[in-house]
Structure formats: C-alpha cells, structure tokens
Chains A and B, each alone.
Chain A
Amino acid sequence: MNLNTVGEIKRPASVEEVGPWRDGYSWLAGGTWLFSEPQIAVDTLIDLPSLGWTPLTVGESGLEIAATCRIVNLHDFKGPAGWRAVPLFRQCIDAFLMSFKIWNAATVGGNIVMSLPAGAMISLTAALEGVCTLWPRDGKPRQVPVVDFVTGNHQNVLQKGELLRSIHLPASALSKRHAMRQVSLTHLGRSAALIVGTVGDRGEDFLLTVSAATPKPVHLRFSKLPSAAELRKAIDDKLSPDAYFQDVHGSAPYKRHVTYYLAEQIRTELA
C-alpha cells in the first residue's frame, strides 16, 4: 500500500551517506512488510539494496548471508556437497505463509528484523546456529547469535538505526544432519510451531530449535541424542506453559502440545 507519510527516499551508496539517524527514518529492504501496513511514524525510507551487498558468500568457515539477500536467492542456493543442511533452506522457505512471488522481493534480513515468532528465516538461521553481524550507528560492528537477536514477538536487540548487516551460518552447523517439522491451523498456513533438530554424524551435539510456538526461538542443546523422556523433561525445564506464544495462529496450550509431539518426531527421525 502507499506509505503516504513518506516524503523522501534515500538511496545511499554507502551507510556513511545516511548521516545522523533520527525518528522517522526507516531502512527499506524488500519492503514486503513495510508496504503491507500503514507506517505513519515513517517519513524517510533508506534503500538498502542501493548498498549493493553480495547476497551469499561461501567461505571455509560457512555461509555469509547478506541481510539484503532475497529469499529467492536462498531458495536457489546450492552449497558445497558437505553442507547437508542446505535442503533445510527450502523446507523453511516453504513454511512461509508468503507466496513464492514475495520471495522475489522479501529479504532474509527483513524477516529476521521483523522478529515475528513465525519468521521462518529466524527458525532456519537459529537452527543452523547463525550469528548476526550488526552495524550500530556509532561504534564497531557487533556479533549476536540469531537465537539471542530476537527477544520477543516483534522485538529484537537492534538499537535505533542499527543495521543488520549479515548472518553467518557456520560450516559446522551446515554439515549436520537435520529434521524439520511444522504445523499450522490451515493448510500451508502460518506456522503454529516450526521445530528443527540438527545432530552430528555420531549422534553428538543434538540441537533442537523451537520457533513459532514461542515468542522467540529457543535452543535445547544436548551433547548426545536424548531419550524421549530426557527430551520432554528438557522442554519442560526450558519452557513453562506460559512461555508459549498465544495468537490467532494457534493457542498457547496447542502450541505446547504440538511442540512435544514434533520434537519427539524429530528425535526419532534423527536417532
């Protein structure tokens, strides 16, 4: 929709050109959320694609995803043979409520910065132990794990004007085996729970990432594959009944109920 309060578009070639941050500024990535709701507090959009960041960079240490990497780029990505978790990219992308047409515009960074519980890029990058690089308006870049980046429904650690520059997925996580489960109240609808498990070849380093069911992603880490009872206890220890996210896409008790179920399915699949 039209953002009728916006009076200016800045299209900087570098972030330094932006100048001092003030209220009314907003970074513009894909625009697929910004343009989907009135943004009456925004008067200036600062175009991020103008910065020309390389969407995906494969390195020894892992994959560097620019915040402006479009979903479609990630969907089309084929990584090195040893990165067995790459198919998870598409599984999580398919878990989006959004149409494939939106993939052509929406960005990975935009989804993470939106910080909605059902943000499938949060699920993906948290599950693959991603680390965000943030560019504060003043000071040095800082690193924050994705799982800590999101702090609640529509909340994150970004300071005013601070920019999510990229997400680094370590090769170690990309090389693990994985299993993913998702449920929704409607067919292919918005996730009520999206849960991912990853594990090393010898059953070591089992990591369960609970998302959508909770306001922020939650890690449950085990040195080796837990038993069903251990897993259930770990979920209970970490997540009290009121730690689940109640919204129109599923009641909190339901999300808790399916979290147990899906987590156990993942455990069984990876066993």
Chain B
Amino acid sequence: MSKYDVNGRVYTIEPRPGQCLRTFLRDLEVFGVKKGCDAGDCGACTVHIDGKPFHSCLVPAFRGEGRKITTIEGLARDGVMHPMQKAFHDAQAFQCGYCAAGMIMTTVTLTEAQKADLPHTLKGNLCRCTGYRSIVDALNGKCNIEPDVAGNALGASLPNPFTDAILTGKAHYTMDVAVEGLLHLKVLRSPHAHARIRKIDKTKALAVPGVAAVYTWEDVPGRKFSSALHEDHLVDPDDITLLDRVARFVGQRIAAVVAESEGAAEAGCRALDVEYEILPAVFDPVAAMAPGAPILHDKDEVVGGGTNIFCNLQGEIGNVAKGFAEADAVHEQTYSTTRVQHVHLETHGSIAWKGDDDRWHVRTSSQGPFVVQKKLAHIMGIPIRDIHVFTERVGGGFGGKQEMVSEDLVLFATMKLGRPVKWEWTREEEFIAATTRHQMTTTVKIGAKKDGTLTALDVRVVSNTGAYGGHGSETLAAAMSAPLAAYRCLNKKGDGYANYTNMTPAGGFRGYGASQTTFAIESAIDELARKLGIDPFVMRRKNVVKPGDNVESIWKEASDASFGSYGIAQCLDIVERELARGNGVEKPAGDNWREGTGAALAMLECGPPTEHRSGAAMELLPDGTYHLACGSSEMGNGISTAHKQIAASILGVRASDIALSNADTDKTPYDTGTYASTGTVVAGKAVHLTAQAMRDDILDFASRHTGAARDQCRLDNDAVICGNKRVMLSELHAAGTRIDHRFEVRQKSYLSPRTIAFNVHGVRLAVHAITGEIRVLHSVHAADIGKPINPMQCRGQLDGAVAMGYGWALIENMVHDDQGHMVNPQLRNCRIPTFADTPHTDIFFADTTDSIGPLGAKSQGECAINPVAPAVANALANATGVRFTDLPFTPDRLYARLTPRS
C-alpha cells in the first residue's frame, strides 16, 4: 500500500487508478477541497503539493504518493489562523465562501511580484459572489469589519458568523458529509432537442457491476409539476414529470442510474440502449410562434392549445397612438439580451435517506427548501410531514437554486431502494441542463416632447422560456413592470410573450426579467435624449417616477408598491458628480482608443407581486442568550448576519448572542424561499416582528415577576432593568421555567406593501476602434437601498451584482449549434468574469431610511445588476457614435462597426 501525507497525517491507502487528487482527498473526509468545475478552471480545489499550488482536480491522485499535501484544513497552526486566513477574515473576502479555500491556498503562495500582478496571478481562481473587491482588500490587509457591541448591531459592519469555519475548511456545504452505505445517482441526458422515446433497453445497464437500479419514464410517478419554486404553484405550469417520455431539449434527463459508485452509475448510463423518434425542433421564440412550428406541449395549461405561446401579457394605459402623435421625437429599436448561466460555484446536488424516525430526509443546495418539501410530497404522493428538507451551507444561488432539479430523483431512488442516495451535478450539467436567464428580444418605441417630457412608451417583449415554462410568466411580468413603471408617462403599452422552444429551460436569475427590459429601455432613453439634444441625466431626472405619481407600467389597477423612501434623485446626482469628477484613470495611449461615458437607472419593487411569506421563531435560552429560527437560505447573500443584527438591535445585545437556525423544514418556521429580493423585506421583517415579540414577552414577564410597572422595564443587554433593579436574563429564565413560562415567540410576515428601491450605474470606458477591446476606466454605482443593516455586506452584494452585470454585458456567451447542443459547456470556453475582467466600482449609498422595510432597510442584493449593461451600452454609444443593441459586447461583435483612424 502507498503512503499519503495529508496535512501531516499519513494515510496508507491506494487511490483508484483514474482518480484525481481532489476526490481522493474528499474520500478521506478532507472536505475543504471543493469542486467548482472539476476541470481546472475555477481553482476552488487548490491544494499544495510539497508547498506548490496545484488544481487538485487535474492531479492524478497517485502522483501525491510520498509527497506532502496541504489543504485549507492544514493551513492553520495550533488552532491559529494563517495570516492570509486572518486577512480574509478581516476583509470578509468571500460571500458564499465556496471559493475561499482555493483562493487562500493560491494567495498564500504568491510572491510580492505576483501580488503586484493580480490579473495574471488570479487567472485560475473564480469568484462569482464578490466581484473580487474584498479579495483585493484582503491582499492589501484592509479591515472591513467592526466590533460586535451590544446595542450597536444595527448598521454595523459585522463579520459573517460562519467566517472561521469557512476560512478553515470546516464549514460543510451540501456535499461535505460522509454517508454510510451511500449510493450514487447519475442521469442519461437527451442528445436530441426534441424526441419521443420509443424504447429503453436497460439490460446492459443493469449488468454493469455496481449498478443497483435503472429508472425510466415507465418507473416513475406521472404527477406533473414545475421545477420552479414559488409560493403560488399556479404561477408556473405543471409541465415536467420526474422522467418524461418526450425529450424537449438537449440535456433533458432521460433515465436515472443508481449505483455503488459514480463511475458505475456513469457506465450504466452509457450502457443504456435508447431508441428515439426524432421530432422537429424549434429554438427561436419568434419562429416558435409561427404557424406550423413544432409544438412542444399540447397541454391545457398552454394558452389556447396548439401553440408554443405559454404566456401573453398585454396592457395599455392612456393612448400610445395619441402619445406618439404628440411627440417631437420618437426612437424605435429592437434590443436583445442573452441567456446566461448563474455559475454558482457549488453545483446542484442533493442527498436523501430514510431516518431513524421513518421519515425521508433531503440535504440539498436550495434557495427554497420549504417549497421543495411541498413539491416532493406532491410528486411522491406522501404527506408533507414525512419529508424533511434542509440546507447546511449553500455555495451560491443567484436564482439558479430557486429550482427543484436534484431533490426529486434522489428522494425517489432512496424511497425505492431504502439506501441513502446522492446526486452531485457536474459543471457541464449546469450549463446544459440547469436553468439560465431568459433570452429576450425587446422592441422599444418611445416618444417625447422637445423639452424631454415622455409622451408614449410602447414595449414588445418576446421571451424564450425554453422547453419548460417555470418562471416564464413571472419573468415576463417583471419584464413588463418596473422598467416601464420607472418613468412617468401618460401613455404606455406593452405586449409580451413567453414562448416554449427546444432550448434549455430558462429560470430565475438575479434581476429576473427586469434586467432584460431595463437594458432596452435605458438604451432607448439615451437614444431619445440624443435625438432631442438633451443630456441623458437631465432626461432621466425629468421623467423618472416621483412620490405622488402613479407607480404603474401598462396596467391601470392600483399597485401595492409605493415609496417607503425615495432616493433616485440622490443616486443620479452621485453618479453624475463622480463621473464628472473622474478618478484620474486616463484612456490608454494610442490613436484608436475612443472614450465615452454612460449611465442607466433601474427601479425595483422590493419583492414579487405574487405571494411571499416568512416566519421566525425566537426563544430566550437558560444562559440569557437567544436562539433565532428563520427559514431563509444563506447562500452568500449575508442574510444570516443581517437577521442576527436585526434581532440583536431590537434586543440590545451583540449579534453573537443570537444563535441561528435557518433553511430547515424541521427546525424553522415556514419560509417561501430566499429569492426575489425578499431576504430583508420579508424574512427580515419576520425576524424584526419576532424580536419585538421576544422583547415584549420578556418585559411582560419581568414586570409580573418583579412587580415593577411595565413601562419601567427595559432590556439592558443580558439583563432587564425593572425600576431600580437589574435582573439577569438567565435569572429571569430560571424564574419563568419554574412556572412553565417558556420565553418562546413566533411571528409571520407577508410581502405587502412593497417599497421601491433604485440603482444607478455609471461607466466611463475606452474602446479600441480596431480590436474592439473595451477597458472600463471608471465604474460608479449608487444604490437607494434604505438604511443598510450591514454596510459592508450591502457593499459586497452590490460589488457582486455589478460584476455579474459586467459579465452579462461584456463576456458571458452560451453558444449553441443549430441542433440545440451547447458548444461551450466548460468554464474555460464559456467565460465568467475573472479578476482581470472585473473593474473596481466606486459604490455609494443614497441617504434614505425606508418606512416600509424593516428598520429602514430595503432590498439590496438583486437590482444592482440591472443598470450595468445599459450603462455600458450608453458609454459605448457615447464613445463611438454607434448604438450596439445586442448583448454581449465582445470585441468580435463590435469591431466591424467601429471606425479606426486611417
């Protein structure tokens, strides 16, 4: 047997011949070594071999023999963090934390010269959350955190409560557990965009050693469902079955193979004989509407039947024809945006088993475990109480985990086989089979008077929802709402379609439909301003919706969205001022660089128009500290920190005095899910109400217990002041326990009314007239997000959203061939922003305090992505005189329309 030295511990063991070092280490329960791509592109698995950094997913395990292997777990000495871990701690240089181990294992090896050239040295480390700004802070030794002081929790930049565990590799993400007797599930995915399955012969697959079972459409419950997670399941069409007889996109699951190892499950998939009847396919959503197009779903839920139009939304306020007749200038243009993948570094995956309590347990990576629980009960036909769904730590979501795509098959298999079953997705599967942002084509016609007053706005949206309709109608509704409501205009009209095609199903993605229309309308506003000779900032100031205006897009009925605060004017002022002031970065030398500036705004109604609800529960513990339970998912959004701070601020204690349980259907009250900008305004509100109830419960009891008048009682950190007495909470708890007073409270919150937030993004850039290269010289963002509960985290959310916006605008490009196969389903071929691609952004907060959101706060993590792409487009137009209408702005899509100096 061979000897392997891992973090100073010697293992006598033999790796499998084709095994890579990453899985070999994880088999030894060294779970700090993460899988982001398993292909050498993301760096999450970085370890040291004899002191040198390697991507362990690319290292044949046998080459580690006799060498000194160090992982994140081995970096701390005698329980003391390595200075780099401490630097990441102080800068809070992570959000979901999934990339942190690899980021630290890389940065600890850097020479000073390498540190001075981070664009090159961080090529091999992807972070999807932070926009890399806080990582640079860590490398510069910057401290972004403040002390946790009782009574000062609100508005303090407190560190993530799980920081130490994340930075030392001890935090357990979804797959970071060893399970006895585990079986592995893999699926065979459709090679065809549209096909009916004639026959599946399992014989050879079942003969593969280690294969325990093979399931096809003939074996599974036929109940239909939508993989989209929403409180109201009726907003999404029930158009999916566990395994379908018809494949509607390349990558759809055809059969599931369960085996003793992943390798055997994969071999089983390869051994399946499937006979397909290939059907005609349609990929373009406009072509899908045409008569004679192949129909994907001939079901009742499709409007009218016999069509691929899943959803059509129309409306008009005023009279746009009249409005255009009154206009002095009209701009009309068609804009298009692309599908993109979330690329949360932790892929989808779930583990299911039967517990000693005879119930089914599902450990998963989800933004909405409670809705997953309900859907699983529906599919399997068992009571909800028999299923327990929970997350431990989730490695990023961005909307991609507002989807039930891995829980269903593992639960089905474990129910059939009685053994625990795990399914961990590959990065390629994320690209070909997980959801994406909806590709939308948007025609905007917009008119205004000479003075810039808008007279008419007409928007037509065609959205490609792909093979299944989850999120199709909701994203379309979002596309037809806030971006239009952001402007005061008496005449507005909209016509929107979400159409089925044989593409990978689209789903929820940060910005959720509004991003797409914001791109079109904000581009159009600039074009209209140019025609009228009006400064684009003036144009926006003149027309942006104000308190007192109707907040309406194309429908007349009253909305529950209103201004709990109003900060757009400040945001516009800040971005205009900062761009004018400049940052001293000059355009590169040379004749062919063209420089330009541009800005765009985005409005967010904080939360979805449909139902959303959260509950929270709190108890006072015997030692005088608290426990808070709230169903929200923590996936790097910082919601755990924020919730603790909200509760701590009401109770006057340190955030660390509040223990937290989250995202667990057994341990926390119901929560619809952590998406649609609800973590603060809905779940946060539940926490706020619950903490107030906790305070009242304690003070009521203290008053009775001490005889002091209720209005003479107040909380004082770990005690209650009752008149002139100070009673420790622990003492009070003991007194309560004696008479069966439990100090437990529970409150719920709902979404309505919704407040309104704004973001403005400004860009100064240079574009090379020959190569088409774009360099962002100055990036400015102003956010009207109310009173930040944790400014450091809010800034981090904005950094991350803006970086994602740049990715959508400039880089990310999922390419499919004419048969619907993705050409580039690897991170090295479908790029997301690296450090080198991500400009530093100067971030500002408008000074607003909201009257609707909890403690003056509004949503902050989502909307910042929306104005980035149009700001880039506007800056490009300003620099070149050319309006680019189709994302992404990669050099090869720009150069032909640029005019070099001859």
Residues in A lying within 8 Å of B, measured CB to CB? 1-9, 28, 30-32, 35-38, 40, 42, 45, 47, 94, 97-102, 104-105, 183, 185-190, 192, 248-251, 253-255, 257-258, 261
In the complex, the chain B residue whose C-beta lies closest to that of A37 is: B39
A97 to B826, CA, bound (A): 13
- Cβ B52 vs Cβ A104 within 8 A: yes
In the complex, the chain A residue whose C-beta lies closest to that of B774 is: A187
Residues of B close to A253: CB separation below 8 A = 892, 896
A45 to B16, CA, bound (A): 12
A125 to B628, CA, bound (A): 63
Give the secondary structure class of A's interface.
loop
A261 to B124, CA, bound (A): 29
- Cβ A105 vs Cβ B59 within 8 A: yes
Residues of B close to A102: CB separation below 8 A = 40, 55, 58, 124
With A35-B59, A104-B54 known, 9 other A-B pairs at CB within 8 A are A32-B55, A37-B826, A98-B124, A100-B124, A105-B59, A183-B773, A186-B831, A248-B823, A248-B829
Residues of A close to B57: CB separation below 8 A = 1, 35-36
- Does B819 sit at the interface, judged by CB under 8 A? no
- Does B119 sit at the interface, judged by CB under 8 A? yes
In the complex, the chain B residue whose C-beta lies closest to that of A249 is: B829
Choose the segment among B262-270, B534-542, B703-711 that binds chain A (4+ C-beta atoms closer than 8 Å).
Answer: B262-270
Residues of A close to B262: CB separation below 8 A = 2, 4
A100 to B52, CA, bound (A): 11
Residues of B close to A37: CB separation below 8 A = 39, 826
Residues of A close to B38: CB separation below 8 A = 1
Which one, A4, A94, A190, contacts B18 given CB within 8 A? A4
- Cβ B40 vs Cβ A188 within 8 A: no
Residues of B close to A28: CB separation below 8 A = 60
Which one, A101, A190, A250, contacts B892 given CB within 8 A? A250
Residues of B close to A6: CB separation below 8 A = 17-18
- Cβ A186 vs Cβ B53 within 8 A: no
Residues of A close to B465: CB separation below 8 A = none
Residues of A close to B58: CB separation below 8 A = 30-32, 35-36, 102, 105
A32 to B60, CA, bound (A): 9
A255 to B43, CA, bound (A): 29
Interface residues of B in 827-852 (CB under 8 A from A): 828-831, 834, 836-837
Asked, given contacts A2-B262, A100-B120, A188-B119, whether A254 binds B60 with beta carbons under 8 Å apart, the answer is no
Residues of B close to A31: CB separation below 8 A = 58-60, 63
- Does B46 sit at the interface, judged by CB under 8 A? yes
- Does B439 sit at the interface, judged by CB under 8 A? no
- Does B121 sit at the interface, judged by CB under 8 A? yes
Can you list 6 pairs linking A and B with CB atoms under 8 Å apart?
A2-B262, A98-B123, A185-B892, A186-B837, A187-B834, A189-B834
A256 to chain B, nearest CB (A): 11
- Cβ B263 vs Cβ A4 within 8 A: yes
> Residue among B43, B57, B771, B828 with the most chain A CB within 10 A?
B771
Asked, given contacts A97-B123, A98-B40, A99-B123, whether A248 binds B830 with beta carbons under 8 Å apart, the answer is yes
A3 to B60, CA, bound (A): 9
Residues of B close to A250: CB separation below 8 A = 891-892
Which one, B20, B123, B828, contacts A2 given CB within 8 A? B20
In the complex, the chain B residue whose C-beta lies closest to that of A11 is: B62
Residues of A close to B43: CB separation below 8 A = 99, 101
- Cβ B892 vs Cβ A35 within 8 A: no
Interface residues of B in 68-123 (CB under 8 A from A): 106, 114, 119-121, 123
Residues of B close to A190: CB separation below 8 A = 828-829
A261 to B770, CA, bound (A): 8
A4 to B184, CA, bound (A): 14
- Cβ A186 vs Cβ B18 within 8 A: no
B262 to chain A, nearest CB (A): 7
Residues of B close to A36: CB separation below 8 A = 39-41, 57-58, 826
A94 to B121, CA, bound (A): 10
- Does B570 sit at the interface, judged by CB under 8 A? no
A35 to B60, CA, bound (A): 8
- Cβ A99 vs Cβ B770 within 8 A: no
Residues of B close to A261: CB separation below 8 A = 770-771
> Residue among A28, A47, A189, A250 with the most chain B CB within 10 A?
A189
- Does B610 sit at the interface, judged by CB under 8 A? no
Which one, B114, B823, B828, B892, contacts A100 given CB within 8 A? B114
A186 to B889, CA, bound (A): 10
Residues of A close to B770: CB separation below 8 A = 257-258, 261
- Does B364 sit at the interface, judged by CB under 8 A? no
- Cβ A9 vs Cβ B828 within 8 A: no
A3 to B267, CA, bound (A): 11
In the complex, the chain B residue whose C-beta lies closest to that of A251 is: B892
- Cβ B892 vs Cβ A254 within 8 A: yes
Which one, A4, A94, A105, A189, contacts B120 given CB within 8 A? A94
- Cβ B811 vs Cβ A186 within 8 A: yes
- Cβ B771 vs Cβ A248 within 8 A: no
A35 to B18, CA, bound (A): 9
In the complex, the chain A residue whose C-beta lies closest to that of B775 is: A187
A36 to B427, CA, bound (A): 11
Which one, A47, A99, A188, A254, contacts B891 given CB within 8 A? A254
